[in-house]
């Protein structure tokens, strides 16, 4: 067997198999595991961006408000965790060790395709738990040093690996984030534009999905947003995200105020017309009983 065929996981299994054997869970305890939600990634002109909200839910209850769902895999890639939070974070940390182990043994970085393949293998090992209600559906993004471009990979619970183009999303709020990304993404985005689009997409997801949290200006909690280009993994400062979030939410508040004023004006006009025509309007909460 070649040196490159060995992985950290294989070495650990050989030395202490009881430490890496699949844990046994009884059916019906899915409610005990927090779920991480809403991860997005998009390509921009110099690389790739990956972002996620900070909330984890347990049924209809908020389990954590400040979870870090975006983790660096190595200097040029990152993994975003959606699904069963505890198992997802464990897989992400093991994935980090796998890549570090390979780099130390081989003296070079594993290719981006190789990283995606290794993550798919780790997910395949979790299939038993996924079938018991503990799935992990990550999103993997990184900068391909050989090609000089950013790339995105999605996965399914069985370990299927799929390369995505332009943008992708996963988690319970993904359908709403996708709608925003389809409208806002375009080729040739700058890093600054990509950051603004990512924040707006997560705000859209939080607006309609109970499992996704938007920027929390009261507690000072903002999404994790990471850019990856030829310079490597860079996390966007929270101060910058706070400013972008305030601008987006301020514009939406102004629009909502204008819309509410327009609705009130229309209702007033309708009431005035009814009064001029001698019609009597009945308040919605006032219902007269019909006598038999």
Q: Which two tokens stand for residue 284?
A: 């919605």
Q: What is the CA 1 to chain-centroid distance, rounded? A: 38
Helix, coil or strand: residue 32: helix
Categorise residue 100: left if φ over 0, alpha if ψ from -120 to 50, beta otherwise.
alpha
CA atoms within 13 A on the CB side of 55: 23
User: Is 57 one of the annotated active-site residues of the chain?
Assistant: no
SS3 59: coil
Buried b / exposed e over 38-59, threshold 16 CB at 10 Å, is bbbbbbbebbbbbbbbbbbbee
Which is catalytic among the residues 37, 57, 170, 212? 37
Strand locations in 176-229, DSSP E? 224-229
CA–CA gap between residue 152 and residue 143 (Å, rounded): 9
35 contact partners, CB below 8 Å, separation of at least 6: 56, 57, 58, 82, 83, 84, 85, 172, 211
CA distance 154 to 253: 34
Cite the active site residues.
37
């Amino acid at each position: 067997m070649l040196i490159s065929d060995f992985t950290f996981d294989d070495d650990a299994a050989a030395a202490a198999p009881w430490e890496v054997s699949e844990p046994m869970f009884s059916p019906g305890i899915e409610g005990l595991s927090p779920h991480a939600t809403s991860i997005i990634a998009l390509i921009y002109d110099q690389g790739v961006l990956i972002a996620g909200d900070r909330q984890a839910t347990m049924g209809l209850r908020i389990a954590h408000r400040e979870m870090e769902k975006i983790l660096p895999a190595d200097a040029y890639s990152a993994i975003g965790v959606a699904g069963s939070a505890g198992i997802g974070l464990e897989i992400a940390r093991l994935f980090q060790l796998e890549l570090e182990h390979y780099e130390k043994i081989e003296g070079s970085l594993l290719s981006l395709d190789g990283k995606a393949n290794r993550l798919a293998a780790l997910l395949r090992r979790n299939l038993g738990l996924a079938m018991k209600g503990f799935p992990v559906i990550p999103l993997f993004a990184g900068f391909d040093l050989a090609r000089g471009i950013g790339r995105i990979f999605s996965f399914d619970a069985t370990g299927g690996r799929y390369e995505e183009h332009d943008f992708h999303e996963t988690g319970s709020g993904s359908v709403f984030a996708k709608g925003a990304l389809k409208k806002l993404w375009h080729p040739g985005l700058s890093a600054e534009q990509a950051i603004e689009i990512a924040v707006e997409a997560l705000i859209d997801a939080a607006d309609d999905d109970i499992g996704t949290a938007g920027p929390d200006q009261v507690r000072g909690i903002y999404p994790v947003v990471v850019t990856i280009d030829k310079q490597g993994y860079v996390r966007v400062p929270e101060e910058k995200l706070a400013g972008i979030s305030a601008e987006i939410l301020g514009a939406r508040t102004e629009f909502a105020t204008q819309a509410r004023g327009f609705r009130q004006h229309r209702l007033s006009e309708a009431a005035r017309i009814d009064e001029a025509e001698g019609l009597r309007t009945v308040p919605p909460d006032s219902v007269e009983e019909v006598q038999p």
